Chains A and B, each alone.
Chain A
Amino acid sequence: MEGNFVKIVVKVEIRVLLNEEGGFDPYKMERLSMVLSNLVNSGAKILIVSSGAIFLGSKKLGLDGQPEGLIDKQAVAAVGQAELMKLYRRYFEGYNQTVAQVLLTGDIFVDPEKSGNARNTLIHLLEQGVIPVINENDSVSTEDIELNDNYYLVRAVAGLTGAHLLLIKAKKPDTYILLGGSPEAGPRFIHEKELIDEVAAVERVMPGEAFREYAFPATLHKVLLEA
């Protein structure tokens, strides 16, 4: 099945799901789940890499702000990851999509056995029509916690699964950033209305190309943060 579908890694940062007061915005989650469910309905396979465990854990525990120390962050993330999956499951169920939690650690980069296992699991989920929701296993791993984003994870997942495209939810309402499709194609802003046509119109889907070309240099990172 690998050649038959466009595989897209979707990066969701919790900040794009918050309202102006910094609280979780159900409306934004609702739109995200509708648009991504429709992308799946159109025939694409998606893998979501989502942050939010520490944010939701802090809320759940009634903490004032987010914890600073690494161990505190890991403990809070353990609470929040369950909350994060609850949200994904609830909202995607509304559109008849099944989600699965996959927690990865940084050693999938270097351990061939682990990377093989992770790859098999992810591909199998996609074949079953399930949407993997991936996060770092923060309780035992510290790479991305320290960097405070999931860029390593996004690249690892894209590489493992041979993803063709990277889609990033922008902070701007109804807007996404699409990368890949051809080596020349830089990041482009796309309204959610155009998303399916845009993905369908990708001429050359080259696994991993988008991610080699744009190894998330600082400039891109900056673009994304402003998006």
Chain B
Amino acid sequence: MTEINRDTEQKRIVVKVGSSTLSFANGRINLQRIERLAGVLSEVRHAGWELILVSSGAIAVGGGLLGMKKKPERLPEKQALAAVGQAELMKIYQRFFEPFHQTVAQVLLTKDGLQEKTKRINARNTLNRLLEMGILPVINENDTVSTFGIRFGNNDVLAATVAELIHAGLVIILSDIDGLYTADPRKDPQARLIDTVHDLSPTVLRSARGSDNTFGTGGMSVKLDAARICMEAGIDMIIANGKNPEVIAEILEGKKRGTLFKSQKSKD
């Protein structure tokens, strides 16, 4: 039995991975985690699902490449590191997908590019064609040209926006927590995992705020922004723990993992 909407026309899924999944606490890239991610994504692809990967990690990889000891704080510094790291990140993905005969393609998007009509259609056409060709698009924000005010600023919202663009049925957001809790599970022993959210009620939003500033870089409030975009577009979204990337396959096999944000319009 499954509650997720697996019966979409296209069997399209957007998977978003963040730095918490791709790197160690010290910010350096976790190669073996990426290898496992590549393994499970290839398996899922070969099982017939159409996949798009939205991946952060460019800044972390860039920092490692340049031997930086500290995480950058200022935006220009981050943008420079992202430019260095994005190429290296793609090299890492290529390397780990290659044994599975899975071709990857880099697609860098900007917020204004997804708002303006012509660019939006171009982006959609490109992504559709890549999927037809059996290629896995790896999407990131084009950090080098995206500055304050015109950037998504986080890949959760980018993933939701891409899902909407290509009419995906499901977005899986891998994080460093198991999902949305009723309170901060590190501070409150009564905190429990919410398995399904049907609407973003004030209670749900309060839970998210309570667990914010504690985990990850994106924070739970940002993930709920992404959930809102998905739910309004008729797309289900799941937040799950990326420590074991195999959770992606388990979700698609119909197992209950993480927190499901059930869209109103999707079929049950």
Contacting pair A42 B28 (CB below 8 A):
yes
| Segment of A31-39, A45-53, A64-72 in the binding face | A31-39
Indicate if B193 sits at the interface (CB-CB under 8 A): no
Q: Given A42-B24, A43-B24, is A96 in contact with B30 using a C-beta cutoff of 8 Å? A: no
Within the assembled complex, what's the spacing in Å between the Cα atoms of A35 and B32? 7
Who on chain A is nearest to B33 by CB?
A: A38
Contacting pair B26 A129 (CB below 8 A):
no
Contacting pair B64 A96 (CB below 8 A):
yes
For A192, list chain B residues within 8 Å (CB).
32
Contacting pair A38 B31 (CB below 8 A):
yes
Within the assembled complex, what's the spacing in Å between the Cα atoms of A196 and B30? 10
Contacting pair A38 B32 (CB below 8 A):
yes
Indicate if A120 sits at the interface (CB-CB under 8 A): no
For A35, list chain B residues within 8 Å (CB).
32
Within the assembled complex, what's the spacing in Å between the Cα atoms of A35 and B30? 10
Q: Mark A80-97, 1 if CB is under 8 A from B, else 0.
A: 000000000000001110
Tell me, rounded to whole Å, the shortest Cβ–Cβ distance linking B61 to chain A: 9
For B32, list chain A residues within 8 Å (CB).
34-35, 38, 192-193, 196
Within the assembled complex, what's the spacing in Å between the Cα atoms of A184 and B168? 54
For B95, list chain A residues within 8 Å (CB).
94
Indicate if B67 sits at the interface (CB-CB under 8 A): yes
Tell me, rounded to whole Å, the shortest Cβ–Cβ distance linking B204 to chain A: 33
Contacting pair A34 B26 (CB below 8 A):
no
For B30, list chain A residues within 8 Å (CB).
38, 41-42
For A196, list chain B residues within 8 Å (CB).
32
Q: Mark B32-43, 1 if CB is under 8 A from A, else 0.
A: 100100000000
Within the assembled complex, what's the spacing in Å between the Cα atoms of A192 and B32? 9
Within the assembled complex, what's the spacing in Å between the Cα atoms of A95 and B95? 11
Contacting pair A34 B67 (CB below 8 A):
no
For B88, list chain A residues within 8 Å (CB).
96
Contacting pair A37 B64 (CB below 8 A):
no
For B150, list chain A residues within 8 Å (CB).
none
For A41, list chain B residues within 8 Å (CB).
24, 26, 28-31, 64
Tell me, rounded to whole Å, the shortest Cβ–Cβ distance linking B166 to chain A: 33
Within the assembled complex, what's the spacing in Å between the Cα atoms of A96 and B61? 10
Contacting pair B65 A96 (CB below 8 A):
yes
Tell me, rounded to whole Å, the shortest Cβ–Cβ distance linking A128 to chain B: 9
Tell me, rounded to whole Å, the shortest Cβ–Cβ distance linking A40 to chain B: 8
Who on chain B is nearest to A30 by CB?
A: B95
Within the assembled complex, what's the spacing in Å between the Cα atoms of A192 and B33? 12
Within the assembled complex, what's the spacing in Å between the Cα atoms of A69 and B184? 69
Most chain B CB within a 10 A radius of its CB, from A35, A38, A193: A38
Who on chain A is nearest to B64 by CB?
A: A96
Q: A34-B31, A37-B31, A96-B88 are in contact. List 9 more A-B contacts (CB 8 A).
A: A34-B32, A38-B30, A38-B31, A42-B26, A95-B31, A96-B64, A96-B65, A192-B32, A193-B32
